[in-house]
């Protein structure tokens, strides 16, 4: 069963805890004239996510499905959503479309260029291309401009089962602890650190988000620029060779 929390006006966090791996998988339904689902989710989680989404909107209302980069937890359930919602379309960046979604998706994606905005009614989603941040050539994130919510994907990842939304800046330390622990095991080098990483993260910080919607762990409300700069420092200190 997915836990549902409204972390910002009409932005609902749909969280499924995977007890075997000790991690939350968070998905975000944005309820608007053209509802958008951020992170299609693992195929095995589709029944729980479907139940959660249908408690908030009618199935035929879903208009957009998006994700950051091509991994199972971001896009695995996409075609199930497209089958459920006949008017829904995937939306992604150019690289993601060319290398993955034109082949994988049951319907062709809407392609956004870096900086392009998708309007869903009262909300505006700016696509920011972030190649290899957190990982993947196709990586990109969405910034909802009207409410200033940044969907951070795997950035600010925290393991465990924390609260849905926090204003406690200790979220940054929990994220660092997760990354340091990964470096000691088979998930080492979870994210590459390149000459471009710092500039990419700073570009996200410069958006000055008020809410950070993390895919794993608590979302954060407060000085998002400060937290994102902290994320950048963590990546540099933990991952730079």
CA of residue 80 relative to chain centroid, distance: 19
**Is the pLDDT at 92 greater than 80, yes or no?**
yes
Domains and CATH numbers, the chain: 3-239 (3.60.15.10)
**Average of per-residue pLDDT across 166-184:** 98
Which pLDDT band, with edges at 50, 70 and 90, does 22 fall under? very high
CA-nearest of 140, 143, 139, 109 to 123 is 143
Nearest to 66 by CA among 43, 93, 84: 93
Full-model pTM: 0.97
User: What is the per-residue pLDDT across 23-35, written as a single tens digit (0 to 9) for each?
Assistant: 999 999 999 999 9
What is the per-residue pLDDT across 181-224, written as a single tens digit (0 to 9) for each?
A: 999 999 999 999 999 999 999 999 999 999 999 999 999 999 99
Exposed e or buried b per residue across 6-29, where buried means at least 16 C-beta atoms within 10 angstroms of its C-beta: ebbebbbbbbbeeeeeebbbbbbb
Nearest to 38 by CA among 139, 142, 148: 142
Backbone angles phi, psi at 57, to 5 degrees: -140, 165
């Amino acid at each position: 069963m997915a836990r549902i929390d409204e972390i910002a006006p009409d932005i609902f966090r749909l969280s499924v805890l995977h007890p075997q791996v000790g991690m939350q998988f968070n998905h975000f339904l944005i309820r608007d004239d053209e509802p958008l689902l951020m992170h299609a989710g693992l195929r095995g989680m589709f029944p729980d996510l479907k139940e959660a989404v249908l408690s908030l909107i009618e199935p035929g209302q879903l208009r957009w499905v998006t994700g950051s980069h091509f991994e199972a937890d971001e896009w695995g359930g996409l075609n199930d959503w497209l089958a459920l919602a006949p008017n829904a379309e995937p939306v992604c960046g150019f690289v993601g479309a060319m290398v993955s979604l034109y082949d994988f998706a049951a319907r062709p994606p809407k392609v956004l260029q870096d900086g392009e905005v998708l309007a869903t009614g009262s909300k505006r989603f700016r696509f920011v291309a972030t190649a290899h941040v957190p990982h993947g050539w196709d990586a990109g994130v969405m910034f909802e401009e009207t409410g200033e919510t940044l969907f951070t994907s795997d950035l600010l990842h925290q393991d465990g089962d924390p609260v849905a939304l926090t204003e406690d800046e200790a979220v940054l330390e929990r994220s660092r602890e997760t990354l340091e622990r990964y470096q000691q095991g088979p998930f080492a080098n979870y994210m590459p650190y390149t000459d471009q990483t710092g500039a990419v993260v700073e570009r996200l910080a410069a958006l000055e988000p008020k809410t950070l919607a993390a895919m794993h762990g608590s979302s954060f409300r407060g000085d998002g620029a400060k937290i994102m700069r902290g994320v950048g420092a963590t990546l540099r200190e933990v991952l730079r060779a």
